[in-house]
């Protein structure tokens, strides 16, 4: 453990902090999420550490609950994106032939439109609920994981040790889980961090555009949207959730970077 | 006696290494090397990988590749210490006084520029010749180096000429500015033997005719013996032996040099064919999916139990394709394979477990033939478990036996491939193949990625194991010395056909067909004057025709 | 046929095919999913007769394939249909907004591309020294920050506190170029920052990749100066990767523009799209989606065409 660089430690610390905050939100938040407690846009005070929002709710409480929503949505969407993408990606690489062609061309097609635009098109006809958001985000993003997983698996697939296992007569399941997966895991885990950041940014952007989490539920992007008009009057309330998004993303990025560096130095397996 | 052109004193070179899980730190890779090179002479630097020979060569241009830094000593070129020179002066030296020929000309030429632009660039840049004169010089050099169409080849792009031709273009590039010293860094290593001999002769004549001095870096002592006046043997960044070529080749003093000189002199007596071959390849014709030409044409060979069939050929001869056909990775278009008395199914996916077990394979690159996430124990243990259902203590006992057989021992059982040296990795791969108790093992260039002495060890081990386990080898290689050392039967392959086939003595005894003659005579011999002899013989033959 | 011409033709055909598939996808995506356009226009309280009338009027009773082809042929001829919510002609509504968006994206690209390439080169020149480290730290930060945060921070500091530029990017035909530029200064700055980081990082990687080639060592060993090594040997081989990087990031700009237009209330395509997504105005969303996809596919195609043209192996076949 002593080999962890300082930047990764900082990243790990803040990531843990945010996740704990999300889990214990009801215990930590001083007021209720939708409870109007004061005036509009009160400055920070002993009662309201971060001040109040555009209709007089405690901003700190909303931030804590908002973080819970944002992190929950991003986590579940990442899990969906990740399992779908990596399972299909590795499967495509191992199966090869027309299965691979079909899956890969379909993914190319989806990826030829920017994800946000595609999400907007889909959300224009589907009901905007949290499960729907998670599903749309997770499935759209799984195309990226698919590409990475497939590329990594194809690289490993051509290794002589996989050929040796095939020639030994091993079954496909053994080849996927014993030969390919252990070697593909580290780059995929690092990618998982990046996917999570992307999901946080994605759900925040959607909520900011009014197409994500619907009020009165709070999430960080939504809080920016609610308080953005204050900016013009010099009220920085909208910057606070944006700041939270940025610090969370940077922390996870630092951790992912560290994992990625560790895996690249293992690559090739030379001591 | 005149002043040396290049005088190296107590040269020390360091590098920064980045081991995984540790802090980066500096290590010394060359520990105080000294030598002199007189004008017009050739010094051969020889050693295995990691000996520091390329690093020393490049230090004569005050250049460190990657994170390499010259940390001490003196390098005098034409009477000045270039390690104390300013960068501007060093730039005048590079490409003018001292030039460089690299191992891979294909990578060393800029793909976006014509050959001529690159050959004359240094001459023009250093103000040695006008562009017009430099181009005329380049054309003369192309001619001297035996390149086809010397007047026009310069207007072509690097990818438009062959590897051997590009290596000569690289030599022309180095000689064009009329340098005092050329550093040749393994210039023929990437070439096939029959191409190597021509390039070698071209380089030798060019050195002789231009009177340039050279540092000739290689791992192949037989090659360096043909072109050098002096030889320095290096190991782990230190000088082992330094002397004139005659002394090094004929009276080596140090044990290491003696081993290098006598490398590949393993004696193996040819065995007579027994009655039933374990493997019979009959009328095999094969092509790769989606291509329109056959890479194997009507191939027929036999391998007898407990014996070795060497399949020898250059790149593109189809020798590796033959291995893929036998293993069932590439089902043939025509023909049959009989193995241990039964017909083998063409596609390995449909072969019985017994067939798969009895036919094992060892790969060229042991590095990628083992899963880096599995320990040696797991790697060797899996076939035991898979084919024989061995478990627990029984399995471990057998793994230890196998580790003893490959001369590594029980302490290696929990190591990962990354913790092994090249030779040790290949030994583990051998053990994995043996674990299946096969009747036959295909060895695909198993020694060509290894240093000569390590390769010798592997060959001896394989011969020894053959006696104990009574296993047959199909040995695929481009190296004739290996063939002589290990085979009972030989198949010489050329352009997808078996050119010559029979017992070792028969195949290696004249009269030869043209290709076998060319191939056999092109293999460098550890003997002074060999190159001239071969070239003279060839000239006589062609004059006779 | 010349192999280059053949490859180019293939690449262009592929792009057209891709666009066609995308149009199917966009159309199908808005059809299959639950929700009835007529219902959403008239609301829950509509009578069945009114719904039936509207469905007939909108052609919703035709089979989906017929409707797709009607829509597609209309789109090819420049007729994108009418907006459900306002009854406006979509083509005319989009044309002025599209030119506004392109105006914004154009100026962002004009600033970002040269700056990114310059900074990327700087990072390579001073690899592992402080300029490189600073650049990679800034990059890490800016890819972790949502676009709208950069937008609001700049708005808060520059427009509200310093009052240098307006906080809302109003633009109309009556303004001269200078007034327009003044008005879009902030959104352009934000877009530049957003794209710059990615572009810089990828340019750096692309050039470093080329600088590690053996022919760069050959050039160095010819005694060429660092500048000549880069200009004569690294640059010709970096063109294709750099163009690729630039195009990829301009495509990224297409997405950034959507959010930034909302932040600065800029009358462009992005704002228009977002508005109509909330109003569930499907024909407008389809039209905007198709245009964004076309721009994106077009940029990727240009990148591939440049890399085909700059490949010496293809330009000078054996």
- Position B116 scores a pLDDT of 94
Q: Given C215, C221, C318, which is nearest B110 (Cβ)?
A: C215
Q: Given A166, A182, A262, which is nearest B373 (Cβ)?
A: A182
| Neighboring chain B residues of C208 at a CB cutoff of 8 Å | none
Nearest residue on chain B to A163, alpha-carbon basis:
B369
CB B48 within 8 A of CB B34: no
Q: Do B369 and A169 touch (CB under 8 A)?
A: no
Tracing tokens 């969906």 back to the chain, one arrives at: A80
pLDDT profile of chain C (318 residues), mean per 10: 81 88 81 60 70 71 76 78 74 84 87 87 79 79 78 79 71 72 82 84 83 88 86 84 81 81 85 83 83 86 83 75
- Position A268 scores a pLDDT of 34
| Neighboring chain B residues of A160 at a CB cutoff of 8 Å | 363, 365, 368-369
- Position B498 scores a pLDDT of 92
Which residue in A155, A176, A154 sits closest to A166, CA to CA? A176
- Position C33 scores a pLDDT of 52
- Taking 80 as the threshold, does the pLDDT of residue B153 lie above it? yes
Q: β-pairing, B440-444 with B359-362?
A: parallel
Q: Do B329 and A163 touch (CB under 8 A)?
A: yes
The pTM of this model reads: 0.78
pLDDT tens digits, residue range A145-182? 998 899 888 888 888 999 999 999 998 888 888 888 88
Burial class (CB in 10 A: 0-12, 13-18, 19+), B85: middle
Q: How far is CA C2 from CA C17, C39, C317, in A?
A: 23, 56, 9
Q: Given B351, B353, B369, which is nearest A161 (Cβ)?
A: B369
- Taking 60 as the threshold, does the pLDDT of residue A267 lie above it? no
pLDDT tens digits, residue range B436-446? 999 999 999 89
- Position B19 scores a pLDDT of 64
- Position B300 scores a pLDDT of 93
CB C258 within 8 A of CB A117: yes
| Neighboring chain B residues of C236 at a CB cutoff of 8 Å | 110, 112-113
- Position B436 scores a pLDDT of 93
A227: three-class secondary structure by DSSP: helix
- Position B492 scores a pLDDT of 93
| Neighboring chain A residues of B371 at a CB cutoff of 8 Å | 161, 178-179, 182-183
Which residue in B339, B278, B275 sits closest to B309, CA to CA? B278
- Taking 50 as the threshold, does the pLDDT of residue B227 lie above it? yes
- Position A1 scores a pLDDT of 46
User: For residues B84 and B62, what is the distance between their CA atoms, to the nearest angstrom?
Assistant: 10
Q: Kindly indicate the confidence band of residue B298, based on its pLDDT and cuts at 50, 70 and 90.
A: very high
Nearest residue on chain B to A261, alpha-carbon basis:
B20
Nearest residue on chain A to C280, alpha-carbon basis:
A124
Q: Kindly indicate the confidence band of residue A269, based on its pLDDT and cuts at 50, 70 and 90.
A: very low
Q: Given A163, A262, A269, which is nearest B372 (Cβ)?
A: A269
Gap from A271 CA to chain B (nearest CA, Å): 5
Q: Given C213, C223, C316, which is nearest B96 (Cβ)?
A: C223
- Position B529 scores a pLDDT of 86
Q: How far is CA B494 from CA B318, B519, C22, in A?
A: 7, 10, 51
Disruptive mutation site among C145, C146, C253, C259 for chain A (greatest number of A CBs within 10 Å): C146
- Taking 60 as the threshold, does the pLDDT of residue B158 lie above it? yes
pLDDT tens digits, residue range B175-198? 999 999 999 998 888 788 888 888
Phi, psi angle pair for B224, to nearest 5°? -65, -25
Q: Do C222 and B110 touch (CB under 8 A)?
A: no
Partner B, chain A 166-205, Cβ-Cβ below 8 Å: 166-170, 178-179, 182-183
A1 touches chain B (CB under 8 A): no
Percentage of residues of chain B with pLDDT beyond 90: 43
Q: Given C18, C145, C280, which is nearest A125 (Cβ)?
A: C280
- Position C96 scores a pLDDT of 83
Q: Given A117, A208, A253, which is nearest C289 (Cβ)?
A: A117
Q: Kindly indicate the confidence band of residue A262, based on its pLDDT and cuts at 50, 70 and 90.
A: low
- Taking 50 as the threshold, does the pLDDT of residue A270 lie above it? no
Region B266-286: mean pLDDT is 84
Q: Do C144 and A204 touch (CB under 8 A)?
A: no
- Taking 60 as the threshold, does the pLDDT of residue A83 lie above it? yes
| Neighboring chain B residues of A266 at a CB cutoff of 8 Å | 20, 372, 418
Gap from C308 CA to chain A (nearest CA, Å): 20
Region A36-55: mean pLDDT is 71
**C-alpha dihedral, A112 to A116 to A117 to A118, nearest 10°:** 70
- Taking 90 as the threshold, does the pLDDT of residue A210 lie above it? no
pLDDT tens digits, residue range B396-411? 999 999 999 998 888 8
pLDDT tens digits, residue range B48-97? 877 888 899 999 998 888 778 888 889 999 888 888 888 888 888 898 89
A164 touches chain C (CB under 8 A): no
**Continuous segment of H or E residues that includes residue B499:** strand B497-503
- Position C150 scores a pLDDT of 82
Nearest residue on chain B to A175, alpha-carbon basis:
B371
| Neighboring chain A residues of C292 at a CB cutoff of 8 Å | 113-114, 117
Dihedral (CA of B331, B337, B341, B343) sign: positive
User: For residues B386 and B356, what is the distance between their CA atoms, to the nearest angstrom?
Assistant: 11
A6 touches chain C (CB under 8 A): no
Gap from B90 CA to chain C (nearest CA, Å): 7
């Amino acid at each position: 453990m002593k080999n962890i660089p300082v930047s990764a430690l900082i990243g790990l610390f803040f990531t843990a902090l945010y996740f704990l905050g999300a889990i214990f939100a009801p215990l930590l938040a001083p007021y209720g999420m939708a409870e109007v407690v004061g005036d509009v846009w009160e400055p920070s005070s002993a009662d309201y550490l971060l001040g109040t929002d555009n209709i007089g709710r405690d901003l700190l409480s909303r931030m804590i609950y908002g973080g819970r929503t944002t992190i929950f949505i991003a986590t579940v969407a990442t899990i969906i994106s990740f399992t779908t993408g990596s399972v299909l990606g590795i499967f495509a690489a191992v199966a090869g032939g027309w299965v691979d062609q079909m899956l890969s061309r379909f993914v190319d097609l989806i990826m030829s439109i920017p994800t946000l635009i595609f999400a907007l098109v889909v959300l224009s006809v589907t009901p905007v609920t949290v499960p729907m958001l998670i599903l749309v985000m997770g499935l759209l993003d799984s195309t990226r994981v698919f590409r990475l997983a497939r590329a990594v698996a194809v690289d490993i697939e051509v290794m002589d040790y996989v050929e040796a296992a095939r020639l030994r007569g091993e079954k496909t399941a053994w080849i996927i889980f014993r030969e390919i997966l252990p070697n593909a895991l580290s780059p995929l885990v690092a990618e998982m961090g990046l996917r999570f950041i992307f999901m946080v940014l994605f759900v925040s952007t959607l909520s900011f555009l009014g197409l994500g989490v619907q009020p009165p539920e709070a999430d960080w992007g939504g809080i920016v949207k609610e308080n953005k008009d204050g900016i013009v009057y010099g009220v920085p309330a909208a910057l606070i959730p944006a700041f939270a998004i940025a610090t969370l993303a940077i922390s996870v990025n630092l951790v992912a970077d560290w994992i990625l560096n560790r895996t690249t130095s293992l690559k090739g397996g030379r001591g | 006696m005149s002043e040396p052109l290049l005088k190296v004193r107590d040269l020390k070179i360091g590098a920064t290494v980045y081991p995984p899980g540790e802090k980066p730190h500096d290590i010394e890779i060359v520990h105080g090397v000294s030598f002199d090179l007189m004008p017009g002479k050739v010094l051969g630097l020889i050693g295995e990988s990691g000996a520091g020979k390329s690093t020393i060569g490049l230090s004569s241009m005050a250049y460190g590749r990657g994170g390499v830094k010259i940390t001490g000593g003196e390098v005098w070129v034409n009477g000045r210490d270039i390690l104390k020179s300013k960068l501007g002066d060093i730039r005048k030296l590079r490409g003018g006084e001292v030039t460089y020929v690299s191992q891979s000309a294909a990578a060393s030429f800029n793909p976006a520029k014509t050959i001529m632009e690159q050959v004359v660039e240094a001459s023009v840049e250093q103000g040695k010749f006008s562009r017009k004169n430099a181009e005329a010089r380049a054309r003369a050099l192309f001619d001297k180096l035996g390149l086809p169409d010397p007047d026009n080849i310069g207007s072509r792009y690097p990818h438009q000429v062959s590897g051997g031709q590009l290596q000569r273009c690289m030599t022309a590039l180095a000689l064009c500015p009329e340098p005092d010293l050329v550093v040749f860094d393994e210039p023929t290593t990437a070439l096939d033997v029959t191409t190597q001999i021509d390039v070698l002769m071209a380089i030798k004549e060019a050195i002789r005719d231009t009177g340039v001095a050279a540092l000739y870096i290689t791992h192949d002592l037989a090659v360096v013996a043909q072109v050098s006046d002096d030889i320095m043997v290096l190991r782990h960044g230190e000088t082992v032996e330094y002397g004139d070529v005659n002394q090094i080749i004929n009276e080596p003093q140090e044990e290491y040099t003696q081993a290098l000189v006598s490398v590949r002199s393993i004696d193996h007596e040819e065995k007579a064919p027994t009655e039933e071959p374990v493997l019979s390849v009959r009328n095999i014709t094969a092509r790769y999916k989606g291509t329109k030409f056959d890479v194997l044409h009507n191939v027929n060979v036999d391998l007898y139990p407990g014996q070795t069939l060497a399949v020898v050929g250059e790149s593109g001869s189809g020798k590796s394709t033959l291995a893929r056909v036998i293993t069932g990775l590439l089902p043939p278009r025509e023909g049959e394979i009989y193995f241990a008395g039964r017909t083998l199914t063409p596609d390995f996916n449909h072969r019985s477990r017994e067939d798969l077990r009895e036919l094992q394979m060892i790969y060229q690159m042991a590095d990628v033939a083992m899963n880096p996430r599995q320990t040696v124990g797991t790697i060797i243990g899996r076939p035991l478990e898979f084919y024989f259902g061995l478990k627990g203590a029984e399995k471990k006992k057998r793994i230890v036996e196998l580790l003893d057989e490959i001369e590594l021992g029980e302490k290696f059982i929990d190591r990962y491939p990354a913790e092994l040296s090249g030779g040790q990795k290949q030994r583990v791969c051998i053990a994995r193949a043996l674990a299946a108790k096969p009747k036959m093992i295909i060895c695909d260039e198993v020694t060509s990625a290894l240093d000569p002495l390590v390769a010798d060890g592997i060959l001896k081990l394989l011969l020894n194991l053959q006696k104990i386990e009574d296993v047959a080898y199909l040995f695929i290689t481009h190296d004739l010395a290996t063939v002589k050392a290990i085979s009972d039967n030989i198949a010489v392959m050329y352009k997808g056909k078996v050119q010559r086939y029979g017992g070792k003595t028969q195949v290696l005894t004249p009269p030869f067909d043209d290709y076998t003659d060319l191939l056999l005579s092109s293999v460098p011999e550890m003997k002074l004057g060999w190159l001239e002899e071969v070239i003279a013989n060839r000239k006589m033959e062609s004059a006779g025709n | 046929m010349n192999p280059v011409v053949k490859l180019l033709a293939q690449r262009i055909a592929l792009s057209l095919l891709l666009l066609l598939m995308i149009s199917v996808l966009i159309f199908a995506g808005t059809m299959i999913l639950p929700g009835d356009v007529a219902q959403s226009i008239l609301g829950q309280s509509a009578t069945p007769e009114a719904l039936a009338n509207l469905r007939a009027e909108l052609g919703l009773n035709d089979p989906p394939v017929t409707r797709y082809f009607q829509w597609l042929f209309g789109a090819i001829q420049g007729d994108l249909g009418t907006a459900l919510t306002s009854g406006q002609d979509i083509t005319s509504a989009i044309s002025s907004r599209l030119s506004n968006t392109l105006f914004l994206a154009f100026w962002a690209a004009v600033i970002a591309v040269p700056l990114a390439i310059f900074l990327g080169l700087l990072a390579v020149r001073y690899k592992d020294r402080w300029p490189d480290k600073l650049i990679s730290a800034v990059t890490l930060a800016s890819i972790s920050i949502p676009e709208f945060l950069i937008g609001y921070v700049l708005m808060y500091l520059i427009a509200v506190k310093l009052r240098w530029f307006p906080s809302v990017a109003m633009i109309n035909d009556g303004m001269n170029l200078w007034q327009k530029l003044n008005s879009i200064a902030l959104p352009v700055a934000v877009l530049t920052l957003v794209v710059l980081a990615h572009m810089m990082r990828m340019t750096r990687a692309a050039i470093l990749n080329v600088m590690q080639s053996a022919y760069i060592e050959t050039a160095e060993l010819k005694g060429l100066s660092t500048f000549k090594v880069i200009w004569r040997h690294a640059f010709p081989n970096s063109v294709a990767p750099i163009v690729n990087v630039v195009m990829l990031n301009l495509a990224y700009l297409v997405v950034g523009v959507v959010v930034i237009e909302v932040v600065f209330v800029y009358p462009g395509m992005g704002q228009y799209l977002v508005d109509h997504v909330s109003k569930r105005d499907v024909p407008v969303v389809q039209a905007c989606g198709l245009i964004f996809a076309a721009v994106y596919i077009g940029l990727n195609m240009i990148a591939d065409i440049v890399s085909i043209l700059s490949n010496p192996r293809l330009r000078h076949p054996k």
